[in-house]
Amino acid sequence: MTFFEKLEAQDMGSADLFLSMSDSYAGLNQFDKSSDALLKVVASYPEEKNTAYRKLVTVSFNGRDFANAVKYADETLEVAPGDTHVLFIKMMAFAQQSKINEALATGEQLLAIDPDHQRATEQMGLILSKVTDAEYDREKRRYEAMSNPTRVDYSNTTKKLAAISTKYNKAIPYLEKALAINPNNTAVKNALENAQRRLRE
C-alpha cells in the first residue's frame, strides 16, 4: 500500500490528496489509477471538479483512451471554452480515432481563439496533407492495378489526380506558417514539398 493509499484508508482523503495521487500515477504511466483518483475528486469535491476534468483530458489521452479524452474535454470546455490546451488535445484525440472532420473543426475553433498556436497550425497542415495523400495514393493504386489501361483510363486518372491535388491548397498555408515558425520541422517540410510537387504534376 502506498503512502497515498494509507492516507485514503485512514479516511484522510481530500481533493489535494487525490490530485497528487493522480499526478504520481500518471508519472508512472499508470493511467487507469490516475483516472480513478481524478474521478474521486469529481464525485466528492465539486469545487475541484473542473481541475479534475482538465487533468482527465491529458491522462486519458496519454493512456490512449481517446474517446474519454474527448468526453472530458467537452466537460472542461463547458466551463472554459477558450482553453486552447484542452482544445488541442481534443483535436488530436479525434485525429487518433480517424475522426478527421471533427479534428479539423476543433483545430479551426482553436485557431480562431489563438491564430498563432504553433502545434495546432502544424497539425492542421499535416492532417490535411495526410488525408489528401491517402486519397491521391488510392487513385494511383487503382490505376496501377488495371491489367490493360487504355488512353482514356490514363486521361481520366490524370484528371482525377489533378483534382485531388487541389486539396493540398488547404494544407499549404498551414504548412508554410508552421515551417516559418520552425524551419527545422522535417515532417512539415516534407509534407509541404510533397504537396507542392503533386500540385505541379
Segments of the chain scoring below 70 in pLDDT: 1-14
Mention every residue, 6+ apart, whose C-beta is less than 8 A from residue 151: none
CA distance 201 to 139: 15
- Give pLDDT, residue 2: 60
Fold observed for domain 1-115 = 1.25.40
Residue 6, burial from CB neighbour count under 10 angstroms (0-12, 13-18, 19+): exposed
Give the helix/strand (H/E) hosting 50: helix 49-62
- Give pLDDT, residue 13: 57
Q: Which amino acid is at 146?
A: M
> Residue 10: phi, psi to the nearest 5?
-90, 15
Cell, residue 28: 508512472
Report the mean per-residue pLDDT for the chain.
Answer: 90
Q: Which of 67, 2, 50 is nearest to 28 (CA)?
A: 2
- Give pLDDT, residue 14: 67
Residue 92 contacts residue 61 (beta carbons within 8 Å): yes
In sequence order, what E strands does 78-197 have? none
- Give pLDDT, residue 201: 80
- Give pLDDT, residue 10: 44
- Give pLDDT, residue 72: 96
Cell, residue 119: 502545434
Q: Which of 125, 132, 131, 128 is nearest to 181 (CA)?
A: 125
- Give pLDDT, residue 87: 98
